[in-house]
């Protein structure tokens, strides 16, 4: 299964929200054993919330043969995407990127991020951002490989447990 010509990128359908949120939790579940239980519960609540149903948020899925392999939410610029932890940013934010464990390592996340970048450029923005938990090593490596730069001034600690949510931004040339 290669992510490329065969994987279809499309907007999520209205009735797919519940499935996508459940798939997100299953995709993030591997982190539960590496972080405090309270942090996992807060993360699980966040990724299974309906925050991605807010006005202006684009929900995007990667599909192969009718099966959703992953999803992402693209939040518009100047929205409170993080419930007041940081100020609204002047560029769109990639949030809640999730790929099923079976589809990992096949380029699905890269295709979803590329679609977010394409849409952001199309809207005339000079950059796109995202935040990721410091325990999400493979995600950080992917973002850095794609050219995202760290922005520690926009990091935050949501659960007060010492776990930092790291900020990244990609500026288009």
Domains of the chain: 8-171 (3.40.630.30)
Q: How far apart are CA 142 and CA 148, in angstroms?
A: 9
- Name residue 68's beta-bridge partners: 63
> Has residue 139 got a pLDDT over 90?
yes
Q: How far apart are CA 170 and CA 149, in angstroms?
A: 6
- Quick one: pLDDT at residue 86? 66
Task: Give the whole-number percent of the chain exceeding pLDDT 70.
Answer: 92
- Residues 69-92 have a mean pLDDT of 82
- Quick one: pLDDT at residue 78? 86
> Has residue 87 got a pLDDT over 80?
no
Residue 158 CA neighbour count, 13 Å, CB half:
22
Q: Where residue 81 falls among pLDDT bands split at 50, 70, 90? A: low
> Has residue 85 got a pLDDT over 70?
no
- Per-residue model confidence as pLDDT tens digits over 19-77: 999 999 999 999 998 898 888 988 898 899 888 998 999 999 999 999 999 999 999 99
Helix, strand, or coil (residue 49): coil
- Answer for the pair 43, 31: CB distance below 8 angstroms, yes or no: yes
- Quick one: pLDDT at residue 121? 97
């Amino acid at each position: 299964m290669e992510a490329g010509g065969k994987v279809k990128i499309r907007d999520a359908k209205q009735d797919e929200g519940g499935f996508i949120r459940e798939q997100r939790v299953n995709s993030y579940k591997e982190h539960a054993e590496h972080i405090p239980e309270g942090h996992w519960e807060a993360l699980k609540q966040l990724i299974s919330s309906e925050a991605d149903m807010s006005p202006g948020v684009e929900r995007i899925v990667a599909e192969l043969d009718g099966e959703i392999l992953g999803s992402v939410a693209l939040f518009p610029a100047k929205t409170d995407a993080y419930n007041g932890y940081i100020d609204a940013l002047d560029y769109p934010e990639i949030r809640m990127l999730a790929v099923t464990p079976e589809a990992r390592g096949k380029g699905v996340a890269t295709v979803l991020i590329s679609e977010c970048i394409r849409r952001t450029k199309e809207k005339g923005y000079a950059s796109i951002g995202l935040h990721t938990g410091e325990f999400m090593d493979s995600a950080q490596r992917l973002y850095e490989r794609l050219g995202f730069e760290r922005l520690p001034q926009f990091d935050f600690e949501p659960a007060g447990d010492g776990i930092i949510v790291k900020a990244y931004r990609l500026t288009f040339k």
